[in-house]
Amino acid sequence: MKIKNICCIGAGYVGGPTMAVIAQKCPEINVTVVDINEERIKAWNDEDVENIPIYEPGLSNVVKEARDRNLFFSTDVDAAIDKADMIFISVNTPTKTYGIGKGMAADLKYIELCARQIARVSKTDKIVVEKSTLPVRTAEALKNILDNTGNGVNYQILSNPEFLAEGTAVDDLMNPDRVLIGGDIDTTEGKKAVDALVDVYAHWVPREKLLTTNVWSSELSKLTANAFLAQRVSSINAMSELCEKTGADVNEVSKAVGMDSRIGSKFLKSSVGFGGSCFQKDILNLVYISKSFGLHEVADYWEQVILMNDHQKRRFAAKIVQTLFNTVSGKKIALLGWAFKKDTNDTRESAAIYVADYLLNEQAEIVVYDPKVKTEQIYADLDYLNTRSSEENKAKVKVVNTAYESAKGAHAIAVLTEWDEFKDLDWEKIYKEMLKPAFLFDGRRLLERSTKEKIGFEFYAIGS
Ligand code: UDX
Ligand code: ADP
């Protein structure tokens, strides 16, 4: 079975880059990415390819090559579903904010809406691929809706979890460690569907990296991978606090530990806390599923990874207050970076949001500079917390266009995202702009202590 037309529902951080790479690598397949958000689709179609809505190194070049050749962005969801042999679902699955599972379970309403729309529109057999991060057994729910509300056409449901990391999405898609495809491999039809998706990826991914499993293993592997990665970050962050008390340096510990080939060096960088749309959500899902099966010890074990992360964010903010003579009331604090990591304009669950909120509760005045995040996004993130009114957030938080501007009259600077450009700032100039003593808090272990102390900064770095 050869796939000719792909439709992807959801033109976000997952759907956009993934489909752009599939289209670039498979010129004979038509790929249409649809979204109900008109603004977003308009931005994907912007004549100036630098204006696409998602910032990812290398992405604009891929879009430039494939767009209007075999890559299309549209708001006509029905038409794209109708035409497709294979439909990827890449819509958002936020944590539920109401009802049963509030604050833990994934809200599947967008997924369900997609399934109902597919069922309503489809007149020919479809392969439906779950791409969004989902709790285990979502495929079953999808199949149930499709089979019971559809027009009698046949559906095969595949799970194809996304392992791309933002900031390196294009490279991760081009050279994945593995691609996981879960399907009903015990039936002929299921096997055919799995093979069809394998053939798509085989255009550029070596066969031995294409892993096929049953659907449940595929869904659970995604949650497990993210839980393990997040656990490493929480583990090293736990050690960072101990390092600060004992005179050890977390970077040295991390290096020593990571050189053990059984442990490995990646994801051992201490920080102000992990963020992003996946880690917290996936672990909460894992906790919720474990609890729902009565596995309380399993649930508690994983929940601790989140509790440690919350502690790390709070601890960093508290350190700022404590160092500034136990009060930041009326003091100007500059935050360098708002994105949850460098090289992305995504801010979901970014530690910066929580650090800012903590400092605002302590009546600080906040000034933010981030090279890629838009001003409206910063206010939207703070408003979403509902800690104070939108007007108050606007009054207390200022967003500026350069790091130098943020430093003017500031009592302290806190580095919250590891953007490369922060390393190369003229720190002498920044020091001159600030009130004295000038405090510098490095939440990413990005800056060199000795040079900053030589300039005159009072320097604090996480884990040393
Ligand atoms: C993650 C997974 O890596 C990816 O496979 C999955 O598909 C989606 O979730 P992402 O959230 O984009 O990707 O970024 P990632 O690089 O994993 O970083 C997550 C957070 O952990 C960031 O806030 C990052 O700054 C932080 N982090 C990461 C650390 O604090 N220390 C580290 O050593 C690594
Ligand atoms: P992710 O990081 O998982 O890609 P995003 O929030 O960046 O998440 O993207 C998800 C996209 O899915 C959003 O642009 C949203 O508008 C879109 N979306 C949600 N529900 C639907 C739907 N029923 N039909 C089309 N698009 C949808």
Q: Does any ligand 1 atom lie closer than 6 A to the CB of residue 88?
A: no
Q: How confident is the model at residue 357 (pLDDT cuts 50, 70, 90)?
A: very high
Instruction: With a cut of 90, say whether residue 336 has pLDDT above it.
Output: yes
Q: What is the pLDDT of residue 151?
A: 83
CA of 165 to the centre of ligand 1 (A): 6
- Among the bound ligands, name the one nearest to the CA of residue 133: 2
Contact present, 70 and 29 (Cβ < 8 Å): yes
Pairing state of beta strands 30-34 and 71-74? parallel
Ligand nearest to the CA of 121: 2
Q: Whose CA is nearest to atom 25 of ligand 1?
A: 341
The H or E element that residue 283 is part of is helix 279-292
Residue 363's pLDDT band, with cuts at 50, 70 and 90, is: very high
Query: How much is the pTM?
Result: 0.94
Q: Whose CA is nearest to atom 26 of ligand 1?
A: 274
pLDDT tens, residue by residue, 127-183 = 999 998 777 778 888 888 898 887 889 999 999 999 999 999 999 999 999 999 999
The finding on whether 161 has its CB within 6 A of some atom of ligand 2 is: no
**278 assigned to active site:** yes
Looking at the predicted structure, is the pLDDT value of residue 107 above 90? no
Start-to-end CA span in the chain (Å): 58
Return the axis-axis angle of helices 215-246 and 296-323, rounded to nearest 10°.
Answer: 40
Which residues face 368 on adjacent strands? Answer: 335, 399
Q: What is the pLDDT of residue 104?
A: 84
Which ligand 2 atom is nearest residue 15's CA? 4
The pLDDT tens digits of the residues spanning 260-289 come to 999 999 999 999 999 999 999 999 999 999
pLDDT of residue 96: 85
Residue 60 pLDDT exceeds 80: yes
Q: Which residues of 15-50 are buried (b: 16+ CB within 10 A; e: fewer)?
A: bbbbbbbbbbbbeebbbbbbbeeeebbebbbeeebe
Query: How far is the C-alpha of 23 from the C-alpha of 53, rounded, in Å?
Result: 18
Average pLDDT in the chain: 96
The one-letter amino acid at 293: F
What are the pLDDT digits (tens) for 376-422? Answer: 999 999 999 999 999 999 999 999 999 999 999 999 999 999 999 99
- CA-161 nearest atom, ligand 1: 7
**Chain segment 251-260, per-residue pLDDT in tens:** 999 999 999 9
Question: What is the rounded average pLDDT of the residues 435-439?
Answer: 98
Sole residue written with tokens 């917390």: 385
Kindly write down the DSSP assignment for every residue of 285-315, as one continuous string: HHHHHHHHTT-HHHHHHHHHHHHHHHHHHHH
Residue nearest to atom 27 of ligand 1 (CA): 274
Residue that the structure tokens 């000795």 belong to: 450
User: What is the rounded distance in angstroms from the CA atom of residue 162 to the CA atom of residue 278?
Assistant: 10
CA-only gyration radius of the chain, Å: 23
Question: Contact 85/126 with Cβ under 8 angstroms?
Answer: yes
Share of the chain above pLDDT 70, in %: 100
DSSP 203-226: TTS-GGGEEEE-HHHHHHHHHHHH
Q: How far apart are CA 260 and CA 258, in angstroms?
A: 5
Domains of the chain: 5-213 (3.40.50.720), 215-464 (3.40.50.720)
